[in-house]
């Protein structure tokens, strides 16, 4: 698996996304399409961005009964995306069903990678305890959910770059970590808290970094993307 920088295209419309990506003349970045853009642009934006040559992480975080997730994943797989995800909280059975659906959607064997969200970074430990009745620590929960994802046959997890090392220790070097929360020390943190730089994410062992505003809101997005690639990939 090749390490890479994934640009989070958190735009409200296909037009804004195309305008942003038109800045890139010499490279075809790996991009992430989240719920907002997918709900605005539908499958057609995925097809168009594939036609333009981008690799795509379709970040829709599925979480439903296994049968529904399997059938939905079959559809997403047939869109020829490179990576999809589910919530690990949906159980091992649901994650297995997701994987089956992906395989059914690509009879040629070229299924997308599938990763699990362990714990979202937004809820506090207090909220996990009080509202979700999760009494273990966040780290123990992340490790348990990552192990569940591995047992289900998934390829890896989404986690904070600071958690990539504990996930690798628990699940093995080959188990992928895809990490948002990337910031340069000299830049705004925005609403992210557990952050680190591209170079440090490489040292900790992230396989893919997901970078949004440090690139999309930069005065020169292409230069910002190249800086991330240079620091994370060492080239």
Strand, helix or coil at 53?
A: coil
| Minimum CB–partner distance for residue 148 and ligand C5P (Å) | 17
CB of 179 to ligand C5P, least distance (A): 9
**Nearest to 91, CA basis, from 143, 151, 132:** 151
Cβ atoms 235, 11 nearer than 8 A = no
d(CA 202, CA 234): 9
For residues 201 and 209, is the Cβ–Cβ distance under 8 A?
Answer: yes
Q: Which is nearer to ligand C5P, 139 or 192 (CB)?
A: 192
Q: Which is nearer to ligand C5P, 97 or 182 (CB)?
A: 182
Tell the smallest beta-carbon distance from residue 7 to ligand C5P (Å).
Answer: 9
Distance of CA 173 to the CA centre of its chain: 18
Residue number, 10 or 207, with CB nearest to ligand C5P: 10
Reference 180, options 169, 168, 191; nearest CA is 191
> Is residue 61 flagged as an active site residue?
yes
Local structure of 10: helix, strand or coil? coil
| Residues making contact with ligand C5P (CB under 6 A) | 8, 10, 34, 120-121, 158, 180-182, 190, 192, 210-214
Output 57 or 105, the one with its CB closest to ligand C5P: 57
CB of 182 to ligand C5P, least distance (A): 6
C-alpha closest to that of 5 among 230, 208, 224: 208
Q: Which is nearer to ligand C5P, 77 or 121 (CB)?
A: 121
Catalytic residue (one of 3, 28, 32, 61): 61
Rounded distance between C-alpha atoms, residue 61 and residue 166, angstroms: 22
Q: Are 33 and 45 in contact (CB under 8 A)?
A: yes
Q: Min. distance of Cβ 22 from ligand C5P in angstroms?
A: 20
Neighbours of 33 (CB within 10 A): 23
Token pair in block for residue 151: 């047992």
User: What's the token pair of residue 202?
Assistant: 């490489």
C-beta nearest to ligand C5P: residue? 212
- Give catalytic residue positions: 61
């Amino acid at each position: 698996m090749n390490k890479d920088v994934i640009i989070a295209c958190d735009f409200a419309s296909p037009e804004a996304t195309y305008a942003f990506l038109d800045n890139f003349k010499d490279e075809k970045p790996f991009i992430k399409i989240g719920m907002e853009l997918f709900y605005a642009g539908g499958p057609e934006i995925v097809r168009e961005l594939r036609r333009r040559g981008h690799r795509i992480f379709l970040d829709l975080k599925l979480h439903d009964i296994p049968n529904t997730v399997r059938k939905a994943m079959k559809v997403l797989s047939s869109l020829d995306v490179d990576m999809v995800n589910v919530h690990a909280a949906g159980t091992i059975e649901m994650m297995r069903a997701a994987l089956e659906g992906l395989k059914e959607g690509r009879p040629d064997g070229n299924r997308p990678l599938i990763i699990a969200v362990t714990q979202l970074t937004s809820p506090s430990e207090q909220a996990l305890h009080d509202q979700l009745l999760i009494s273990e620590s966040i780290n123990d929960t992340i490790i348990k959910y990552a192990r569940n994802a591995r047992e289900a046959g998934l390829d890896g997890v989404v986690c904070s770059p600071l958690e990539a090392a504990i996930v690798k220790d628990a699940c093995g070097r080959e188990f992928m970590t895809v990490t948002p929360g990337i910031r340069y020390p000299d830049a705004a943190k925005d609403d992210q808290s557990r952050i680190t730089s591209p170079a440090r994410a490489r040292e900790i062992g992230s396989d893919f970094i997901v970078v949004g505003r440090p690139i999309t809101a930069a005065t020169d997005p292409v230069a910002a993307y190249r800086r991330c690639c240079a620091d994370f990939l060492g080239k």
